[in-house]
Structure 1
């Protein structure tokens, strides 16, 4: 076969396993020799079976992506398994033991694999899904229950995830007897080795159907919007992730759902800047307050509190209010609030204020030239 396996199924190289299986079902329904009138139906059916077998096997797909189509087929031929996937057990992906299955199958045979590998019909957990949620700093401080909606895959309600309608004719695959795998026994220099491969007739499903579910196009899943509720704990930080168990994609063959991961984004706050569990606040004060000291009010996440500014406070000084920061996630207590004072120079002065400042400057031995912008000099000094 010279066609790229992704092209055979009509999927992209980053297609998920579910996408590959869905594409396979559509192609199989089109080219199955029992139903297709295409002159090359049998050959096309073999191609799509082979493509599905490789691309739904994690190890084979990695080798295929690494080597490319031609080198992958050459490596399989060197393994002597007639396309059954052997020959990849050795270094560099080109197989160590010639003949059936290579060393990987020998290890499966002697160390619990039983030569059969993992059944394609085994229950498998669904994929984890990821979404994001934006919250306010107040929500992160107090903790909150958030309602949100997410569009996600869910089990098709019309076919219950089977991929075919109730009236479809379902037959047990005669080639694998419903096992989804066929077993080959081959003679090697190490003795008889048993190897199981995905059944070409049913693609590993164990069943053959004559009709696909029109709602999910045979995939067994549909996308729908779900309304959920999540508990956001107090103290959560920007960029942290919440996990909602079993709210992800549905599992296969009776396997459990995956999980839903929620990335938390905390919006900026007009007053506070967060630093871990601490908060920072820039507080404006007047020149007299900085010189003489004062009791002022500063905001916290719990409301305003009084704070004593000591005498001779310099612009840019920082003071700590213990326990006024964010709650510690899964811990005790709170972080601190750091208040940085900024002395604010007024935009304008009345005559009394100007006279007082001139007298203040002269008392300090400064030469005051009002005509050249005394007020501007005062502002620059801060």
Structure 2
């Protein structure tokens, strides 16, 4: 189980509080120490509880998104309140970046744990986005190219991401004198620390503008629908994730784009049950086929296949067709197809069939009236 709180709960970084609570209830039911057989259930349950606690508190979640998992854990370890008051002025950065940093312990960690300097000038990767792609079992067998549509933030073309039109008048920020950062001295649990933070007024640019862009309202980005084509490899399983690099959200300060994570959901099949790379299929056989044996045809995902049913086959017996299962993802070969036989007792018989079965019963030494339950007894024996 990943350390990242979002991965622990199996939710995207855009998940709502209700989505997080639903995911928590599902995971908690699976890993509660009182009901789970997992040897690491107690440890996993504690991680699930902590993830839910942090991500359902708005301020703690903002601090977690801002600092990242490792620095957030360091903050708690050293006794800092990384949530309420420790996050500083978060702003509303849609890219998951630093936003407008307004001081506080969050900014202190930029200093103490490798931050410092002018944070907005350091290119940071944009936020990853997540979506779900639904395919059927045949598509998972063959591999397929699918179209996905997502809504994502993109750089505003009108202002080229600056947040202001080219005609806007510029003036030096009076609060930081154009440096884009201000220096403060604070008394902290670690002692007296000189702290350099991004200027709140100009958000680190050092310049103020007389106008904001009408299209993006000064944010520098707009949300647009994007249609992408994704290659789904053959053999992919339900719940696996594909990554499209550079198709996520843009960086807030010129860094690389984030990635698009595509969770694949493979639909159940009406005929086959999937078990890893293997497939399972139920085959109905008549009583004579089971008794005398027969060459039968069974469906596969690559056309029909024949195999020999030996005489005396019992209901519930399973046969293996090697290499007739799913392709092994990014490996050579296929899984197997397991065919489970079910002997079917006819519900209606003509006179000739009744006579033959009555003779069969008598030949076996059974004194049975056919009309008085022979077929019911025959059926129950299988």
Q: Could you say whether these structures have the same fold, taking a TM-score greater than 0.5 normalized by the shorter chain as the test?
A: yes
Alpha-carbon distance change, 340 to 193 in structure 1, aligned in 2, over 3 angstroms: closer
Alpha-carbon distance change, 286 to 214 in structure 1, aligned in 2, over 3 angstroms: same
Which residue pairs with 2:224 in the alignment? 224
Which residue pairs with 1:304 in the alignment? 304
Q: Structure 2 matches for 1:36-185, cutoff 5 A? A: 58=67, 66=83, 68=84, 84-85=103-104, 116-184=116-184
Q: Offset of 1:65 from its aligned partner?
A: 5.6
Alpha-carbon distance change, 55 to 149 in structure 1, aligned in 2, over 3 angstroms: closer
- For residues 85 and 104 of structure 2, the distance between their equivalents in structure 1, rounded to whole angstroms, comes to 13
Contact 1:119/1:181 (8 A) holds in 2: no
Q: TM-score, normalised by structure 1?
A: 0.70
Q: Residue by residue, what CA displacement relative to the aligned partner does 1:277-305 show, whole Å, maximum 9, x if unpaired?
A: 00000011110000000000011111011
Contact 1:279/1:326 (8 A) holds in 2: yes
Which residue pairs with 2:94 in the alignment? none
Which residue pairs with 2:348 in the alignment? 348
SS at 2:138 equivalent? helix
Which residue pairs with 1:92 in the alignment? none
Alpha-carbon distance change, 179 to 124 in structure 1, aligned in 2, over 3 angstroms: farther
Q: Residue by residue, what CA displacement relative to the aligned partner does 1:216-263 show, whole Å, maximum 9, x if unpaired?
A: 121111111111111111111000000000000111221111000000
Contact 1:119/1:180 (8 A) holds in 2: no
Q: Structure 2 matches for 1:370-381, cutoff 5 A? A: 370-381=370-381
Q: Structure 2 matches for 1:146-295, cutoff 5 A? A: 146-184=146-184, 194-295=194-295
Contact 2:180/2:198 (8 A) holds in 1: yes
Contact 1:126/1:248 (8 A) holds in 2: yes
- For residues 275 and 104 of structure 1, the distance between their equivalents in structure 2, rounded to whole angstroms, comes to 48
- For residues 15 and 278 of structure 1, the distance between their equivalents in structure 2, rounded to whole angstroms, comes to 35
- For residues 316 and 344 of structure 1, the distance between their equivalents in structure 2, rounded to whole angstroms, comes to 11
Contact 1:123/1:253 (8 A) holds in 2: yes
Report how many aligned residue pairs link the two structures: 301
- For residues 249 and 110 of structure 2, the distance between their equivalents in structure 1, rounded to whole angstroms, comes to 31
Contact 1:164/1:211 (8 A) holds in 2: yes
Structure with greater Cα Rg:
1
Contact 2:118/2:198 (8 A) holds in 1: no
Which residue pairs with 1:333 in the alignment? 333
Aligned-residue RMSD, C-alpha: 3.4
Could you list the structure 1 runs, at least 4 aligned residues long, displaced by more than 4 angstroms after superposition: 54-57, 59-65, 184-188, 190-194
Q: TM-score, normalised by structure 2?
A: 0.70
